[in-house]
Structures are given as structure tokens and as C-alpha cells.
């Protein structure tokens, strides 16, 4: 921003009128973006604390919970948490298992795959071509399902962990992270007798951790939001359903609520409650990951 005076060659340079106008425009745009991001979540929060029969008759954004007594109504959350013998609470643990499993296995696969390409300069063009083709073309849902079924992973947590733990883009990002490390560092380690695993995990990985952390965070976000693979690979084994698939099931069960003769209006609130149940953990975790995301993104564009 240009509000503060700048110093150049010992002279004070005040921001020009054009720079001040640009600052105002930027602040207005950022304010509008913030407003557009916050209002839907605020409406969802207030709607989840309202009474269903009053909420369904309300038009526009719910700036405050809508109840007859003026107090927040938590009946929607109670119904959400008690749904199908506390399925939502149990699915939190299952989802965390999927997230941790994909992050750990993805880290190992990304590090090793990128290291192979990094240390094989003659074969790297062919390997990179293979990876890029996999980004542009894939077998599709049915062939992938056939492979997973043939491997005997359908109906098990492995069908949710292994297929989604990495992708071509994450391998490329890990490779770019390795390229930021000075070659002299690797050569010095080789002169000291370091093997491949020592170079990979003790030399390259710590120095490239910024960009690799970005792949880990993205893997965690994709695993947290995944529901389609669960619908394909664990459709009947509900004990392995992740949080997002249970949310889909709850919303589907409540879709015909308003057509009942004596509707339970608190069930109308469940659709809002499940959004917050699934979103709040991500909102809590993202500020801690924001610094690494910014640092890793810059490393991908600027050689350090």
C-alpha cells in the first residue's frame, strides 16, 4: 500500500494522488470480496440457530437467528449429532484417518517419485512425459473402479487412502522444490558418503519442505472434502463412510421433509447444521496453514 511515505536515496517520496486512488480502489475491492465470503457463512450460522418454520418463511439473509423467544435454537445441531446413532461424530474419526493416511502416504510417494526424476537426468524427459500425459488423460471412473475391485480394496479403507494420496501435479511440485536446493549441497553429501535415502530425507526434504508442505495441505483438503470415492468404493460399509458422505445422506433424507403432513421443522435446520459441522474444522486449521501456503507458493515461482 502507498499510504506511508517512501524513502529513496535518503529522500522522502510521498505517495501521489494516483497511488492514493489505487489504494482506495484496492481496499474497496478487498472489502467487497470479504463481504461476499462472510455473508453466506453468517447466514448459514444464523439459520442453523433459528426455528425451522420461521426460517422457511423468511426471505433474504438471516442476520440474526429467527426464533419466537429471541434465543438461539440448537435443536438442529442435536438432531445432526444424534443422526443414525451418532454417525456424524464417528465419521469425524474415519475422515481424520483418511486425511492422515493420504497425507503420510502421499508425502512418501511424492518425495520418492520426485527424487527419482531429479536424480535421473537422462530418463527425466521420458518420466516427465509420462506424468504429464497422466495429467491430461485418465482411464475414467469405471476402469479405475475395476482396478480397485481387482486389487480387493473395495469395501475397505485402503480404497479411500491409496488412490487419492498423490497425483501428477504434486509430484511436479515436489520436483520443483528439489530444484530450489543448490546442487553443491547434494554433491557435498555424496562426497561425505551419503546414500540415496540420506540425500532424499535428510538433505533435500528439509530444504524443500516449504513447497512440499503445500502438497500435503492440498492433499488434506482434498481428502477432507472427498465423498464421491466413498460412494463408489464403500457404498454399503457405512462404518467406513467419511463425514462428507454422511452429510450427503442426511441432506437427501431431509429433502422431502416439507412434504410431510406433520413436518419436523427442526429437520429443516439439519442442512444448515451439517455445513457448519464440516466447515468449522477447516476454518480453524486454515490460519495455521496459510503461512506455509504463501511461502510454498513463492518458492515455486522464485528460486531461493
The upper half-sphere exposure of residue 190, i.e. CA atoms within 13 Å in the direction of its Cβ, equals 7
**Residue 119 placed within a domain:** yes
Are 65 and 93 in a shared domain?
A: no
H-type alpha helices, 192-242: 196-198, 205-207, 209-225, 228-233
R_g over Cα of the chain: 25
**Residue 78 placed within a domain:** no
Given a contact cutoff of 8 angstroms between Cβ atoms, the answer to whether 241 and 159 are in contact is: no
Residue 66 structural domain = 6-73
Please identify, among 38, 53, 73, the residue that sits at the C-terminal boundary of a domain.
73
Are 145 and 241 in a shared domain?
A: yes
Are 54 and 150 in a shared domain?
A: no
Please identify, among 46, 73, 100, the residue that sits at the C-terminal boundary of a domain.
73
CA 63, 67, 68, 74 dihedral sign is negative
Given a contact cutoff of 8 angstroms between Cβ atoms, the answer to whether 19 and 25 are in contact is: no
Are 157 and 297 in a shared domain?
A: yes
Task: Count other C-beta atoms under 10 Å from residue 194's C-beta.
Answer: 15
Are 107 and 221 in a shared domain?
A: yes
| Dmax (CA) of the chain | 80
**Residue 79 placed within a domain:** no
Which residues is 7 bridged to in the sheet? 12
Given a contact cutoff of 8 angstroms between Cβ atoms, the answer to whether 181 and 208 are in contact is: yes
pLDDT by 10s per residue, the chain, length 304: 444 555 555 555 677 888 889 889 999 999 999 999 889 889 888 988 888 778 887 888 888 888 888 888 888 888 888 887 888 888 889 999 999 999 999 999 999 999 999 888 788 888 888 888 888 887 788 888 999 999 999 989 999 999 888 888 899 988 888 888 888 888 888 888 888 888 888 888 888 888 888 888 889 888 988 888 889 999 888 889 998 888 888 877 776 665 666 667 777 788 888 888 888 888 887 777 666 665 555 444 444 4
CA 206, 208, 210, 214 dihedral sign is negative
Judged by phi (left if over 0) then psi (alpha if -120 to 50, else beta), residue 263 lies in: beta
Q: What is the pLDDT of residue 161?
A: 92
Are 187 and 295 in a shared domain?
A: yes
Record the pTM: 0.79
Given a contact cutoff of 8 angstroms between Cβ atoms, the answer to whether 80 and 250 are in contact is: yes
Q: What is the pLDDT of residue 101?
A: 94
CATH number at 255 reads: 1.10.3720.10
Domain count, the chain: 2
Q: Distance between alpha carbon 177 and the CA centroid of its chain, in Å?
A: 20
* 8-state DSSP, 227: -
Q: Which helix (H) or strand (E) is 54 found in, with range? A: helix 52-57
Are 194 and 232 in a shared domain?
A: yes
Are 60 and 205 in a shared domain?
A: no
Are 69 and 88 in a shared domain?
A: no
Please identify, among 14, 40, 73, the residue that sits at the C-terminal boundary of a domain.
73
Are 139 and 261 in a shared domain?
A: yes
The single residue listed with the C-alpha cell 464403500 is 234
**Residue 1 placed within a domain:** no
**Residue 31 placed within a domain:** yes
Q: Distance between alpha carbon 151 and the CA centroid of its chain, in Å?
A: 28
Q: What is the pLDDT of residue 301?
A: 40
Amino acid at each position: 500500500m502507498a499510504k506511508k511515505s517512501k524513502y529513496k536515496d535518503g529522500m522522502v517520496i510521498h505517495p501521489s494522488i494516483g497511488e492514493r486512488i489505487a489504494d482506495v480502489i484496492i481496499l474497496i475491492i478487498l472489502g467487497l470480496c470479504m463481504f461476499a465470503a462472510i455473508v453466506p457463512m453468517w447466514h448459514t450460522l444464523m439459520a442453523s440457530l433459528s426455528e425451522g418454520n420461521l426460517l422457511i418463511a423468511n426471505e433474504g439473509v438471516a442476520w440474526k437467528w429467527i426464533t419466537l423467544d429471541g434465543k438461539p435454537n440448537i435443536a438442529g445441531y442435536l438432531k445432526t449429532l444424534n443422526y443414525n446413532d451418532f454417525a456424524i461424530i464417528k465419521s469425524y474419526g474415519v475422515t481424520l484417518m483418511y486425511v492422515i493416511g493420504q497425507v503420510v502416504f502421499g508425502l512418501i510417494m511424492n518425495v520418492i517419485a520426485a527424487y527419482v526424476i531429479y536424480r535421473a537426468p537422462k530418463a527425466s524427459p521420458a518420466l516427465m512425459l509420462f506424468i504429464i500425459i497422466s495429467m491430461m488423460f485418465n482411464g475414467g471412473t469405471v476402469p479405475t473402479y475395476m482396478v480397485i475391485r481387482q486389487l480387493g480394496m473395495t469395501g475397505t479403507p485402503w480404497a479411500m487412502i491409496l488412490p487419492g494420496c498423490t497425483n501428477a501435479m504434486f509430484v511436479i511440485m515436489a520436483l520443483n522444490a528439489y530444484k530450489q536446493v543448490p546442487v553443491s549441497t547434494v554433491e557435498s553429501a555424496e562426497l561425505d558418503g551419503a546414500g540415496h535415502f540420506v540425500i532424499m530425507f535428510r538433505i533435500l526434504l528439509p530444504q524443500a519442505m516449504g513447497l512440499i508442505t503445500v502438497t500435503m495441505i492440498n492433499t488434506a483438503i482434498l481428502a477432507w472434502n472427498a465423498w464421491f470415492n466413498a460412494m463408489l468404493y464403500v457404498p454399503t460399509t457405512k462404518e467406513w463412510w467419511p463425514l462428507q458422505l454422511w452429510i450427503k445422506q442426511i441432506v437427501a433424507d431431509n429433502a422431502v421433509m416439507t412434504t410431510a403432513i406433520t413436518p419436523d421443522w427442526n429437520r429443516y435446520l439439519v442442512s444448515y447444521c451439517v455445513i457448519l459441522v464440516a466447515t468449522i474444522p477447516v476454518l480453524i486449521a486454515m490460519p495455521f496453514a496459510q503461512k506455509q501456503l504463501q511461502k510454498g507458493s513463492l518458492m515455486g515461482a522464485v528460486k531461493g
